[in-house]
Structure 1
Amino acid sequence: MLTLTVAHRRELKAQAHALNPVVMIGKIGLSSNVIEELDRGLSSHELIKIKVQIEDRIVRNALFEEICQQLDAAPVQHIGKIFIIYRPKPEETENKSAHMLPRKKREAFRSKRSFQN
């Protein structure tokens, strides 16, 4: 299971606020099809919202932890019957080092007067 910093978790919560639930888990609970759908959602979106129809709070907490462990995802937020989980895309973590090259400095802004002289 991944761990997140407090600042990163806060950013993810803000991003997830506008999301709609991707997967709804019924009263039966977790099945292999649900896990596969969650995996597909995480691989395409990284950050997903899940709605659960189970009434028992203790069972929901255990389900949230089990989902995160099986999918190797980070738990972001659990409010009532809504779970938010995050798993970064593997190709982005490899390419991140290539994108971290230093940028070229921008040229200074020239005013209209500088062209007249």
Structure 2
Amino acid sequence: MITSKQRAYLRSLAHKIDPIFQVGKNGIEDAFLKQVDDALEARELIKLAVLNNSGYEAREASDFLCEELRCEGVQAIGNKFVIYRMSKKNPKIELPKPNKK
């Protein structure tokens, strides 16, 4: 689970990246899940777009992918959403440390 401070940091990183996948009329199939899983392992932070004919809203698609791939939903705005998962083999993004109370 990421904190709101970490989420804000990830949103700032995601601002300048373009969507690399689109959820289309075929929805979210096993092959699509595998591609997104591989991309998360390689990049850690990815942006996806949801097409109008997919039958999904951005938040629904984000929640479904996060549940299936054990990743974190960073944000969903309009038809785009951002997800994050730390790479097991080669972590690149260093999250800010959570404040201890």
Q: Which has the larger radius of gyration?
A: 1
Q: Deviations over 1:52-77 (max 9, x none)?
A: 103689x3232221100101000000
Distance 2:89 2:12 in 1: 24
- AA aligned to 2:41 is S
Partner of residue 5 from structure 2, selected from 7, 31, 45: 7
TM-score by length of structure 1 reads 0.70
- Count of aligned pairs: 91
Identity %: 29
TM-score by length of structure 2 reads 0.80
Structure 2 unaligned runs (5+)?
Answer: 95-101
Of Structure 1 and Structure 2, the greater helix share is in: 1
Partner of residue 32 from structure 2, selected from 31, 34, 50: 34
Dislocated runs of 4+, deviation >2 Å: 54-57
- AA aligned to 2:4 is V
- Measured after TM superposition, the shift of residue 22 of structure 1 is 1.2
Within the alignment, does 1:23 sit opposite 2:7 as a pair? no
Distance 1:11 1:37 in 2: 25
Q: Relative to 1, partners in 2 of residues 1:29 and 1:6: Cα closer, same or farther, differing over 3 Å? A: same
Q: Deviations over 1:66-92 (max 9, x none)?
A: 100101000000001101000001235
Distance 1:33 1:90 in 2: 21
